[in-house]
Structure 1
């Protein structure tokens, strides 16, 4: 009788080991895919934020300019460093208007956004008071604005803006006025238009400006994909700045 019990005990332990092995492997697979899913989720959140900003930009500019503006329906690549490992820089939204060119970086960040240690950094305060240091969209835009200023006529106004599109995002009052919530976009651009009209400057020819920009930029889908492949080799940078 004791032999039967011993046989049954060994059989039961073997069955438990067999059951456990695939479950552990499945867990590892889920953990691996979980990381990939997290990156994909962040990317999708970023794209959703950009879509919100693009729609609001189009609504506001139509109100201010009628049909006399250009807003590309997608990202624009600037050829800012030809011949280097990272020759291109992505602009989320490039709005060309009679009263200025606007280089806009969208962030779909929730929480409270505070100034960081310096002008290049921001602090996001999330649920439970968790604090994260992130690169400011103004810092991300700086080299892009500088390139356009160097390549385009000096009389054209070119400005970088950072737009936060999440409805549950709150901005600290000490942040620069060029960092705005999406709800402030209408007032911001209306103010820029008003200041331009008071300046007496000649309006920018939208078609001419776009053609001039394209001498140093691209909207080609293949070139955009090559750009994304290059930046994806630094996942921590993508994760830090994607949304």
Structure 2
């Protein structure tokens, strides 16, 4: 009987120890959750900055789609959809932006289509370039919209702790580079018939899906 009581007490203490967690453990997000939160914060920052700069440059004559949008660029394929972080329609072009909230020194990688991110302790890792991620998305719109409407893509590196190598392509931007990049696009389009923003926005709306269901289905596929 004494042994049974002792065993019961030991089991109770073991369960208590297994269940006991610190406050930090309870509220500390998993790595995947932290990465997702960091990405969402970067996208929100980029969206606000895009809106501010487009308003300064175009007044009300532009359209910035809200939130990420989904396109079906490869029907029938294992991964038929793609996610676009930001999509803007202006009188001087249609722009697809891929946002990264990376910190550290960003430089060209030895592997085509990749960039190297080096953190403060010198650890380096290669990551897929935002321009490479944008390639099929830009091609999708170019193939489906009138050729008179220029479509271009850019990668936005929004972290204040991101430092970009001068060797990077000019379409890879820090958040502070965005005003100049937009003005350069506007100036290079000077003399051409302006894009009809309302018409272009309506046409693009037929090619994208902004529903939660589409986003969930896409993210479930890429998470496999």
Taking structure 2 as the reference length, what is the TM-score of the superposition? 0.88
Choose the corresponding residue for 1:195, options 188, 193, 197: 188
Provide, for residues 29-74 of structure 1, a one-character-per-residue CA deviation record: whole Å limited to 9, x for no partner. Answer: x99x97x711011101100000111001000000110001000110
Residue 40 of structure 2 is matched in structure 1 by 47
Runs of 4+ aligned residues of structure 1 deviating over 3 Å after TM superposition are 13-27
Choose the corresponding residue for 1:87, options 80, 86, 94: 80
- 1:23 CA drift (Å): 3.6
How many residues align? The count is 219
- 1:215 CA drift (Å): 2.6
Higher helix share: 1
Secondary structure in 1 matching 2:89? strand
Gaps of at least 5 residues in structure 2 are none
Secondary structure in 2 matching 1:104? strand
User: Which has more radius of gyration?
Assistant: 1
Choose the corresponding residue for 2:138, options 128, 134, 145: 145
Residue 60 of structure 1 is matched in structure 2 by 53
Residue 240 of structure 1 is matched in structure 2 by none
Gaps of at least 5 residues in structure 1 are 1-6, 234-243
Provide, for residues 181-208 of structure 1, a one-character-per-residue CA deviation record: whole Å limited to 9, x for no partner. Answer: 00110111011111111xx210000111
- 1:25 CA drift (Å): 7.1
Partners of 1:17 and 1:75 lie apart in 2 by 50
Taking structure 1 as the reference length, what is the TM-score of the superposition? 0.82
Provide, for residues 99-137 of structure 1, a one-character-per-residue CA deviation record: whole Å limited to 9, x for no partner. Answer: 011100000001110101233101100131011110000
- 1:139 CA drift (Å): 0.4
What is the aligned-residue RMSD (CA, Å)?
Answer: 2.5
Secondary structure in 1 matching 2:87? strand
**Contact kept in structure 2, 1:91 and 1:104, CA below 8 Å:** yes
Residue 172 of structure 2 is matched in structure 1 by 179
- 1:79 CA drift (Å): 1.1
Secondary structure in 2 matching 1:122? strand
Choose the corresponding residue for 2:89, options 96, 109, 122: 96
**Contact kept in structure 2, 1:109 and 1:165, CA below 8 Å:** yes
Secondary structure in 2 matching 1:170? strand
